[in-house]
Amino acid sequence: MSAIDLIILGMIKEKTMSAYDLQKNVEYRHISKWVKISTPSVYKKVITLENRGYIKGKNDNENSIPGKVIYSITEEGNEYFISLMKKTSEKMVNVFLDFNAVIVNLNNIDKELGLSLAENISREIDKYYSVVDEKITEREHIPFTGKTILKQQLMVGEALKEWSEEFIKTYRDEGEK
């Protein structure tokens, strides 16, 4: 079971497209901000999903680009998609933030360097928040489900901003005791 499978199958279910179009759609939607997915993983997943019979590729004869393959979801793929939707909706929510690996190790380094790293994290959280806020404004035309994910990410960004400010203050104060 994979979130990447779910994302790719969902996009193909919505509209037939090439692996390149899938990858561009992942970039446009900023999906990599909330699901661990990279350009190579999109292409690898397309091959895997096709080999498993979940999607079927057809050469695009109408397009002038040679070798362009357009993928559609198969009946087996639709069943797999629905099963992934059910299984994923029943899983406990996991939030993994890469920067927590830095936070957990701050006691192992000099306090001044630790504060600098915590401030870096805070700046990156601010950037994240700004990007999501900008996307909400730019993407007024997207479906409700996309808008609600952007709103969710904005709320996460707000919570992280609040947390980082409090953390830095507390971390700084701990050093003064």
Q: Report the percent of the chain where pLDDT is more than 70.
A: 93
**Could you report the per-residue pLDDT of 126-147, keeping only the tens digit for each?**
999 998 898 888 888 888 988 8
CA distances from 61 to 18, 47, 66, 105 (A): 13, 20, 8, 55
Contact, 57 vs 71, CB < 8 A? yes
Two tokens at 145?
A: 């489900």
**What is the maximum alpha-carbon separation in the chain?**
72
Structure tokens of 18?
């090439």
Q: Which tokens is 99 given? A: 């920067």
CA distance from start to end of the chain: 48
Question: What b/e sequence results for 64-97 when a residue is b if at least 16 CB atoms lie within 10 Å of its CB, and e otherwise?
Answer: eeeebebbebbeebeebbeebeeeeeeeeeeeee
Residue 27 has what pLDDT?
Answer: 80
Q: pTM of the entire structure? A: 0.72
Of the pLDDT bands very low, low, confident and very high (cuts 50, 70, 90), residue 33 is low
- Distance CA(114)–CA(97), nearest Å, equals 18
What does the pLDDT read at residue 114? 95
Residue 32 DSSP one-character state = G
Could you read off the pLDDT of 48-106 as tens digits, one per residue? 999 999 999 998 776 556 678 999 999 999 999 999 999 989 988 877 788 999 999 99
Phi then psi dihedrals of residue 71, to 5 deg: -105, 145
User: What mean pLDDT, rounded, does the chain reach?
Assistant: 89
